[in-house]
Amino acid sequence: MTSPHCSLMPLSLVTPTRILGGLEGRGCCPDPLPTLCPPPDDSGHPLFRAAAARGVCKVMCFHPHSDLTLPLMSLLEIRAVIDAWAELEAELGASYPWVQIFENKGAMMGCSNPHPHCQVWASSFLPNEARLEERTQRQHHSQHGVPMLLEYAEQEAQRKERLVVENEDWLVVVPYWATWPFQTLLLPRRHVLRLRDLCDSERDSLASIMRRLLIKYDNLFQVSFPYSMGWHGAPTGPHLREDCGHWQLHAHYYPPLLRSATVRKFMVGYEMLAQAQRDLTPEQAAERLRALPEVHYKLRPQEPVCGAAQVLLVEPGAVLNKPTSKVPLTVPCWLLAH
């Protein structure tokens, strides 16, 4: 379905300037409200230094239907999204040091447009998170001679206590250092620097494991699960000529929900001023996600609604006796956990 109020739907006022993957509705257009803009004038004082932040901001639509999210798309459609990501990374990465692909899903994550889409920001500098990952991965590689996240993936594959889903090329874990309740990390099994470096079979298996993870997310509270996610890979632009062997491609998923479709985690108080605290351990979160079915709740046979009135059909003139026992109440298993 499409909505006449959705600015990202096909043939809308914001028309994609280019169609990616050869599928109608999967397009990329300039962000009408770009974040990367010229800074204010530098005052000259060391406490108020400013520098130009040049870049490009784009919006990429996943599908022509406004109500179809990634877990409900086919593997072929998700593969087309992955190919478009890799193409944009290569195109923008030819000029810019950092290409950030990210998706904000759901109003809870500040997404103001319901159409399935992501954003791609290419910047003339390495952002803070990228600089931190550059430093830590380089230090680990220098000390141990192996990419940090490659070694981490091997360890998690062996331990399995934080493993959510896996296949021959990828694994998803609730990371050991997770702070959001159902935060996950998507990792390749082999050493890969960037999305463009993935072979065809790895892109196919990536589409599969992404859909499996996102179906589990939606099934957790039977809601279109909100999150912010994004890809991190080796820097681009001038860094393409450097040795980036310490880097490992990966994707972060940061969902805010904690106990239900409406109860979310807040980073406030001590967590804002001192240090993040966990409501679930990574092992508990992984176990709950791992146990969920991999068939989307919208595609499964309809289950009885908890608390719904029961209707009893009887023949005319029949006498109804008072029931001798109570009807058992069916409660979703996630309620029993709390």
Residues labelled catalytic: 117
Contact 137, 248 (CB under 8 A): yes
- Any long-range contacts for 48-52 (C-beta under 8 Å, 24+ apart)? 52/124
**Could you say which DSSP state residue 27 is in?**
E
**Could you say which DSSP state residue 71 is in?**
G
Rounded Cα distance between 60 and 253, Å, is 18
At residue 337, the 3 state secondary structure works out as: coil
At residue 134, the 3 state secondary structure works out as: helix
3-state helix, strand, coil in the chain (%, to 5): 30, 15, 50
Q: Which residues, in sequence order, are CB contacts of 7 under 8 Å at separation 6+?
A: 13, 14, 113, 115
Rounded Cα distance between 50 and 110, Å, is 27
Q: Could you give the C-alpha distances from 21 to 62, 213, 231, 251, in angstroms and in order? A: 10, 23, 19, 21
Q: How far is CA 79 from the centre of its chain?
A: 15
